[in-house]
């Protein structure tokens, strides 16, 4: 499963499952948004976009149906476990 880590911007990581064509996006606020039926070319363009969040807004957000995030998102699971342990920082 291809993964792209972003060092700047609101999107922190993109996981793409080539078999199911699902794209999971981990955001800087630790939320994960999942999209189904995303072509691999759209994933590649997201990864090479100068501003991934702007590309997501223009080409992905309203174009593809939302899905359930893949369970292999270790960053999101780790963040949830820390929030459960120490509280959500409210």
Residue pLDDT, tens place only, 14-69:
999 999 999 999 999 999 999 999 999 999 999 999 999 999 999 999 999 999 99
pLDDT at 12: 98
Output 15 or 70, whichever has higher pLDDT: 15
Question: Bridge partners of 33?
Answer: 25
Number of domains in the chain: 1
DSSP H helical segments within the chain, as ranges? 40-48, 52-59, 74-86
Q: Is the pLDDT of residue 74 over 70?
A: no
> What is the CB-side half-sphere exposure of residue 52 using CA atoms within 13 A?
20
Indicate the burial class of 18 (C-beta count within 10 angstroms; 0-12, 13-18, 19 or more): exposed
| Residue with more model confidence, 77 or 18 | 18
d(CA 8, CA 86): 26
pLDDT of residue 73: 47
Helix (H, G, I), strand (E, B) or coil at 75: helix
DSSP state letter for 62: T
Structural domain of residue 80, as residue ranges?
A: 3-86
């Amino acid at each position: 499963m291809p993964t792209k880590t972003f060092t700047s911007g609101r999107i922190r990581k993109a996981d793409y499952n080539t078999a199911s064509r699902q794209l999971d996006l981990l955001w800087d606020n630790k939320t994960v948004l999942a999209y189904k039926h995303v072509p691999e070319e759209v994933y590649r363009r997201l990864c090479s976009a100068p501003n991934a969040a702007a590309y997501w807004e223009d080409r992905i957000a309203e174009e593809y149906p939302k899905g359930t995030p893949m369970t292999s998102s270790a960053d999101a699971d780790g963040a949830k476990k820390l929030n459960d342990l120490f509280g959500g920082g409210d």
